[in-house]
Structure 1
């Protein structure tokens, strides 16, 4: 198996295992648990599979076009809405990442939060990972939050949220948790409410 195919196979599995930020639960329980997890999300199993296909397609396009984009741009997919974040060194790479994302079948929206001039260091990356883990853990153990319906990404201490909230109160609670975490500079939410007409447009 080629290096490229190995990468794609890996990325085919990651989204399903990481649904709702519960990677370790999905991994521990095996394939059956992955199916159950996908079915439990607000978007349902079919939409989860469709989002995974979009993720695979975009990663494939990035990998073939520019490995720097593939490595440095973060990708979240929620009901056909794609959120891009991360750091790239050139403006052209930012444009190319967005252009390629739109080429994936099933994409309904591309939100571009990619930053130019790669200021990210190893210490910054470690801190971002810690922030993401801290928030995902907090949401997981908050009984008033359906954590499985949220996707969290942190770049340069800015938290980006995507997903579907059961209510405005739940969303406010999630944002509040994010703002309470040390070192967080800003919280950017692209979460839709469960009954938002945009989900079906």
Structure 2
């Protein structure tokens, strides 16, 4: 069963999942979203792939929908999150890789013991309510807060098209993918993310157009 005490992050993720799963039913052809540097066909195909993966997650184990993040850009898939066993890890990755339309899978799914995962969720719930915690060597910054900072800062930055990027913060490590139009834009994006309070490391799968 899905745990219901995982805070704002889970609420937002659940709403996002519902929107993705509903998308194929709400449209009958390629979507046109001109602000993104993807063709309408790429956008439609990415939506189909993601909804298919999430649909399989919902059939096999509903907790995958909350514990595993799936981000897609031009049929390249980035998998992040935490699972509590090798069995679940192999299960998730098998479900992801079964779609032969996927070009590349960036596998950043972490296996952790259940105690670590539970502690992570409790910290996210607590720090998510209080935004960024006070400076302390024993406290980590909320991943929800980091993700919100990335969104706000990239959106505000001139010369950066934030709609062309997908990101997740897991245990203060930021995983980001997408497409930059120039080397200058790529460097801007990575510099902005690295300067955010609490970010321990940035793993980039950003390509150049």
- TM bin, normalised by shorter chain, reads 0.7 to 0.9
CA distance in 1, matches of 2:122, 2:159: 34
Given the alignment of the two structures, is residue 153 of structure 1 paired with residue 148 of structure 2, yes or no?
Answer: no
1:107 matched to 2:102? The reply is yes
Whether the 8 Å CA contact 1:8–1:60 is kept in 2: the answer is: no
More helix by share: 1
Once the two structures are superposed, residues 88-129 of structure 1 have per-residue CA deviations (whole angstroms, 9 ceiling, x without a partner) of 000111111111111125211111101111532232363111
Secondary structure, aligned partner of 2:34 = helix
Q: Matches of 1:124 and 1:169 in 2, distance apart?
A: 33
Greater Rg over alpha carbons, structure: 2
2:160 partner SS: coil
In the aligned structure 2, how far is the partner of 1:163 from the partner of 1:13?
23
Confirm or deny that 1:193 pairs with 2:202.
no
Correspondences of 1:106-145 after superposition (within 5 Å)? 106-117=101-112, 118=114, 119=116, 120-124=120-124, 126=128, 127-145=142-160
Which segments of 5 or more consecutive residues in structure 1 lack a partner in the other structure? 1-5, 15-30, 195-201
1:174 lines up with 2:169 in the alignment: no
Aligned to 2:10: none
TM-score (normalised: structure 2): 0.74
SS in 2 for 1:46: helix
Q: SS of the counterpart of 2:167?
A: strand
TM-score relative to the length of structure 1: 0.77
CA contact 1:89–1:116 (8 Å) conserved in 2: yes
- 1:60 matches 2:47: no
Task: Name the SS of the counterpart of 2:70 in structure 1.
Answer: strand
Task: Report the alpha carbon displacement of residue 10 of structure 1 after superposing the two structures with TM.
Answer: 3.3
Contact 1:145 1:170 in 2 (8 A): yes
Distance, in Å, in 2 between the alignment partners of 1:7 and 1:193 is 27
Name the CA distance, whole Å, in 2 between partners of 1:86 and 1:9. 19
Are 2:99 and 1:84 aligned? no
More displaced stretch, 44-53 vs 79-88: 44-53
**Equivalent pair of 2:77/2:102 in contact (CA under 8 Å):** yes
1:27 equivalent in structure 2: none
Describe the SS at the equivalent of 2:204. strand
Conservation of the 8 A alpha-carbon contact between 2:67 and 2:83: yes
Distance 2:67 2:199 in 1: 20
Structure 1's consecutive aligned runs of 4 or more residues displaced over 6 angstroms after TM superposition are: none
Question: Bigger shift: 127-136 or 117-126?
Answer: 117-126
For 2:143 and 2:16, how far apart are their aligned partners in 1?
Answer: 23
